[in-house]
Structure 1
């Protein structure tokens, strides 16, 4: 029974991970190329907040009770997009610092080995 529940959970997790639009956007932002788009992606939280407010107003006006689930979904997506901005900014700073340190170490190593990496490579012909 436990294996069945675990398998169902895993399948639903991977299905949602692959096909839900918010997860696709957040996965794209979490790549190295996408980190710069984290702060602008925060703007996507606005439509979700408006949709949550609209559904809440419909519920208070006597609408269907299942709209509560939509309110929770919209608020969850709003929270995800609000948090992705600062998180991606911190990741971007971390990556850029690591890249600068690696670039500095490489330059220092090349200078210590007395290698001129701007010089043109020479072709050595081997005659046997």
Structure 2
């Protein structure tokens, strides 16, 4: 029974990671080129919360009960979008620091090679 639940949960997770638009967007933001879009993606949280509020209004006025699921999904996606903004800023700062460090290391290696080349030329 536990194996069946485990398999079902992994399949649901795979489906959601692969095909849900908010998860696809988050995966794109987590790439190096997408980190700059983390803060603008936070604006989508307002859209998700607006849809959740609208669905709540529909439910209160006698709408179908399945809209509760839509409200839950919208609130969850809004939370994900709010969190990705600061996380992407931190990841971007770390990536740029790593790139700067690698660039300085490469410059030092080039500077160290120049005197050695001059020494080998002068000894000929």
For 1:14, the equivalent position in structure 2 comes to: 14
Tell me the matched-pair count.
116
Unmatched segments (≥5 aa) in structure 1: 116-128
Offset from partner CA, 1:96-127 (integer Å, 9 cap, x none): 01100111111112212227xxxxxxxxxxxx
Shift of 1:92: 0.4
Shift of 1:57: 1.5
- What TM-score, normalized by structure 1, do the two folds share? 0.83
Offset from partner CA, 1:23-68 (integer Å, 9 cap, x none): 0000000001111111111121121111001111122223333222
After TM superposition, list the pairs within 5 Å mapping 1:1-128 onto structure 2. 1-114=1-114
Backbone CA RMSD of aligned residues: 1.6
Unmatched segments (≥5 aa) in structure 2: 116-124
Looking at structure 1, the residues matched to 62 and 11 of structure 2 have their Cα atoms a distance apart, in angstroms, of: 36
Looking at structure 2, the residues matched to 78 and 5 of structure 1 have their Cα atoms a distance apart, in angstroms, of: 28
- What TM-score, normalized by structure 2, do the two folds share? 0.86
Looking at structure 1, the residues matched to 6 and 92 of structure 2 have their Cα atoms a distance apart, in angstroms, of: 35
Structure with the higher fraction of residues in helix conformation = 2
